[in-house]
Amino acid sequence: MNLSQIAGQLDTLLEWEKGTAEPLLEQPPDPKLGDAAFPCFTLSKSLRRAPQQIASELAQRFKLDGVEAAAEGAYLNFRLRRGSCAAGLFEQAELQPVDGEGRTIVIDLSSPNIAKPFGVGHLRSTVIGAALYRMYAAAGDHPVSVNHLGDWGTQFGKQITAYKRWGSEERLKASPIRESLDLYVRFHEEAENDPGLEVEARDWFRRLEGGDPEALRLWRYFVEVSLTEFNRMYERLGVSFDKVLGESFYNDKMGAVVEELRKKGLLEESEGAQVVRLEEEEMPPCLILKSDGTTIYPTRDLATALYRHDVLGADKLLYVVGAEQSLHFRQVFAVLRRMGRTWADTCTHIPFGLMKFEGKKMSTRRGKVVFLEEVLDEAVSRAAAIMENKNPQLKNRDAVAEAVGIGAIVFGDLKNNRIGEINFSLEEAVQFEGETGPYVQYTHARACSILRKAEAVASQIRANISFDDEAGSAYDWDDASWELLKRLGDHEAELRRGLHRHEPSVMARYALDLAKLFNRFYHSNKVLTDDVQAQKVRLELTRLTAVRLNWTLSLLGIGSPEEI
């Protein structure tokens, strides 16, 4: 017996499509209430009865061997008979391929601006998007990750203007990203007192769009050195891309978009610019061409969406971009619908909140950037120092410190609800206690250590420690062992819940739950015990914990060292 069978029975009773009830099952806040709970609030409208009455009626109709169903207010609670249901729960806890729909999901993530440093502010889009990519792959879909580099636009007019006025080729070659940042910051400082700089910058961008050789030379150089820096960061974060297609890739595709908008009578002039009016959608006009005839973000994003759907074959388009761009994407999707693209309804903006670092907001224009590389280096250094005290004899110390330090940064982001604002604290993130990545990694390493000791003992005395269903049925199930077993089988439901909400924090929280439950189990039970049958069950729980933590951390892009 397992929770999937309970959900299947609910699907039958409610005449639902198979798989509908399982994501709705909840863990009761108090284990005394049962092993699973089904809320009946949402059924009230369709069934036209009070949720308490619905729960009571379902309790009377629910019949499944090994399961007791009882109504408690608006909830239908289920209690499993531990011995008889253990085998099914162990089966559910095993890692099995998830049957998916095989959809092509194009995910726009990271997308830093060329000639800018890869700061902590870029972390959120990168790690959230990469986690969703892995989660979709685990769910049986075909994700395609796209790095939509900010390699075009008026910013390059500003960058070129700043370089021409104050730049040094020698300084630029010595430190390309930091020198580029200094020039960009100086441009904005000087522009506050010299409006002519903005005019000059717009002229350089116009020359760039027109193919001016000097503008193109400088642009290509900024792109080249930036990609080299970005790729070093991506390698350390364990992030790769199926496609790296910057904004410039769509330069020859925007004309067709503008022409289609014009032919369909969607373009209107507004103060010299060309816009698509969206009053019916209660939004301001969407700017397509500026008054000087140059393109702007919506034009490129329209061309981008068309390419991803028509050429890459996307069934769904996801954009992992900050919440401040919500209006922009609502406008783009609305214009796509006006163009007759019904698939615009499959386009989804996945916003995330601002990240502050030690309470400070970051701004590239003001030069307030915390370089991600410096943060990663510091996290790795701190992790190494902690491990030196915990385990001076640790092998592969540098590799483990890298996995733990970077895992601390990534987990410190992904454990949070993505839409909320994060005040990131490096001091908290690298701790081995509390809700941190190192805590989960250390729990995984502890489970691996127990399994190594068990193998050594078994080989010495030639004991059979292999798990079997009989051992699970006969085991005296204490609460700590039982709660861990139940939670181990929730991985598929949690994966689907996380994808439904586009929320990697669901998987991070699942990893934390498993780690806490395993540590409670470990402190309540002696795993390597003289009771052979009990040892088999406890070792199987330990093995499944190691497997599941490894799997969950891998979805988040975090390593799982077997020894820390």
**All structural domains of the chain with their residue ranges:** 3-80, 104-243+302-357, 373-556
Residue 347 φ then ψ, to 5°: -85, 130
Query: How far apart are alpha carbons 3 and 9 in whole angstroms?
Result: 10
Query: How far apart are alpha carbons 172 and 163 in whole angstroms?
Result: 9
Cβ atoms within 10 Å of 324's Cβ, excluding its own: 10
Which two three-digit tokens encode residue 9?
A: 């029975």
pLDDT in tens, the chain (564 residues): 567 889 999 999 999 998 899 888 998 888 888 999 999 998 998 999 999 999 999 999 999 988 999 999 999 999 999 988 898 889 889 878 787 889 999 999 999 988 888 877 789 999 999 999 999 999 999 999 999 999 988 889 999 999 999 988 888 888 888 888 889 889 999 999 998 999 999 999 989 988 999 999 999 988 988 898 899 999 999 999 999 999 999 999 999 999 999 999 999 999 889 999 999 999 999 999 988 777 788 999 999 999 999 999 999 999 999 999 999 999 999 999 999 999 999 999 999 998 877 655 544 444 456 788 888 999 999 999 998 888 888 989 999 999 999 999 999 999 999 998 888 888 899 999 999 999 999 999 999 999 999 988 765 555 556 777 777 788 999 999 999 999 999 899 899 999 999 999 999 999 999 999 999 999 999 999 988 889 999 999 999 999 999 999 999 999 999 999
Burial 353-374 (b: 16+ CB within 10 A, else e): bebbbeeeebebeeeebbbbbe
349, 419 Cβ separation under 8 angstroms: no
Integer CA distances (angstroms), 323 to 327, 351, 354, in order: 9, 4, 8
Which two three-digit tokens encode residue 275?
A: 């816009």
> Which segments of 351-468 does DSSP mark as H helices, in order?
372-390, 397-414, 426-429, 437-461
Query: How far apart are alpha carbons 84 and 87 in whole angstroms?
Result: 7
> Taking Cα atoms as reference points, which of 531, 546, 522, 544 lies closest to residue 86?
544
- Give residue-wise pLDDT tens across range 425-469: 888 999 999 999 999 999 999 999 999 999 887 655 555 567 777
Q: Going by CATH, does the domain composed of 3-80 fall within 3.30.980.10?
A: no
Query: How far apart are alpha carbons 232 and 472 in whole angstroms?
Result: 48
Which two three-digit tokens encode residue 10?
A: 């609910």
117, 178 Cβ separation under 8 angstroms: yes
3-state SS of 279-327?
A: HHHCCCCEEEECCCCCECHHHHHHHHHHHHHHCCCCCEEEEECCHHHHH
Angle in degrees, CA 182, 186, 188, rounded to 5: 125
Which H or E element spans position 275? strand 273-276
- Give residue-wise pLDDT tens across range 339-391: 999 999 999 999 999 887 765 554 444 445 678 888 899 999 999 999 888 88
Amino acid at 98: V
pTM of the model: 0.89
Residue 411 φ then ψ, to 5°: -65, -35
SS3 state at 108: strand
Architecture of domain 104-243+302-357: 3-Layer(aba) Sandwich (3.40)
Q: Going by CATH, does the domain composed of 373-556 fall within 3.90.79.10?
A: no
94, 88 Cβ separation under 8 angstroms: no
Cβ atoms within 10 Å of 282's Cβ, excluding its own: 7
Query: How far apart are alpha carbons 354 and 323 in whole angstroms?
Result: 8
Query: How far apart are alpha carbons 48 and 54 in whole angstroms?
Result: 9
Length of the chain: 564
